Homo-oligomer: A and B are copies of this chain.
Amino acid sequence: MQIGEVARRSGVSAKMIRHYESIGLIPPPGRRDSNYRDYGHHDLHRLAFVRRARDLGFSLDEIADLLRLWGDRQRSSADVKRLTESHIAQLDAKIRRLKEMRRTLSHLAEACDGDERPDCPIIDELAGLADGHA
């Protein structure tokens, strides 16, 4: 299989497949006489795995760990679960930060008339003129 077909079937762009190879996330495939990369079903499967992990927000470092665990028949599901829960904790932290921003912003936006006059509590807050929306 050429890289284009694997890309289409795995959902990982050819660009990224080459990149993943260059950083050692996936092994270099064989080459044809033309020097074109030649992939098999196993490679396709691995790339689809990577794709799904990316979709769940795992970093490439975490995905490297997941790939090792996937191929390790001696793995304990505890290891996988630990990695996953650590990732969930990171997501939670990120969600919390974003929600806090959102909360502040929506309060400010509510207090803003949104008309043609310049007066605006949003600008005031950013300018450090916060009045505690009292």
Q: Which residues from chain A sit less than 8 Å from chain B, CB to CB? A: 45, 48-49, 52-53, 55-57, 66, 69-70, 72-78, 80-82, 84-85, 87-88, 91-92, 94-95, 98-99, 101-102, 104-106, 108-109, 112-120, 122-123, 125-128
Name A97's closest neighbour in chain B (CB-CB): B57
CB atoms of A92 and B102 under 8 A apart: yes
Name A66's closest neighbour in chain B (CB-CB): B126
Q: How many copies, total?
A: 2
- Which of B80, B119, B122 is within 8 Å of A112, CB to CB? B80
Task: Enumerate chain B residues within 8 angstroms of A75, measured Cβ to Cβ.
Answer: 118, 120, 123
CB atoms of A118 and B45 under 8 A apart: no
CB atoms of B78 and A122 under 8 A apart: no
CB atoms of A98 and B98 under 8 A apart: yes
